[in-house]
Amino acid sequence: MLASAVFVGAMQIGAISSPLAAQQRTSIRDRARQDQVREATRDADRFAVIDGLVTDTLLNPLGAADVSVVGTGARVVTGENGRFRMMQVPPGQYLLVVRRIGYAPTSGIIDVPARDTLRLSYTLTRSTYALDTVRTQARRVTMRMLDFENRRRQGVGQFITQEEIERRGSVQTSDFLRYMRGVQVSTNTTQAFGGTQVYSRREGGGLDANSQQQYCAMQVVLDGIILPRYFNLELLPPPKQIAGIEVYSGAATIPPQFGGASRSCGVVAVWTRDGY
SS3 state of residue 175: helix
Same domain, yes or no, for 184 and 240? yes
Burial 130-159 (b: 16+ CB within 10 A, else e): eeeeeeeeeeebeebbeebeebbeeeebbb
Q: Tell me the per-residue pLDDT of 31-79, one tens digit each, with 9 for 90 and over.
A: 667 666 565 555 567 899 999 999 999 999 999 999 999 988 889 999 9
pLDDT digit of tens for each residue in the chain (276 aa)?
434 443 334 334 344 445 544 445 556 666 667 666 565 555 567 899 999 999 999 999 999 999 999 988 889 999 999 999 999 999 999 999 999 999 999 999 999 999 999 999 999 999 875 544 445 454 455 688 999 999 999 989 999 999 999 998 888 999 999 989 999 999 876 555 678 999 998 755 443 445 455 678 899 999 999 998 889 999 999 999 999 999 998 888 899 888 777 788 999 999 998 765
Number of folded domains that form the chain: 3
Residue 131 lies inside a defined structural domain of this protein? no
Residues 6+ apart with CB under 8 A from 44: 88
Residue 98 lies inside a defined structural domain of this protein? yes
- Per-residue confidence (pLDDT) for residue 188, from 0 to 100: 74
Q: How far from chain centre, in Å, is Cα 93?
A: 9
Radius of gyration of the chain (CA): 28
Same domain, yes or no, for 11 and 105? no
Task: Give the CATH number, domain containing residue 68.
Answer: 2.60.40.1120
Residue 132 lies inside a defined structural domain of this protein? no
* Global confidence as pTM: 0.72
Q: Which domain holds residue 184?
A: 137-272
Q: Which of 75, 93, 126 is the last residue of a domain?
A: 126
Residues 6+ apart with CB under 8 A from 113: 48, 91
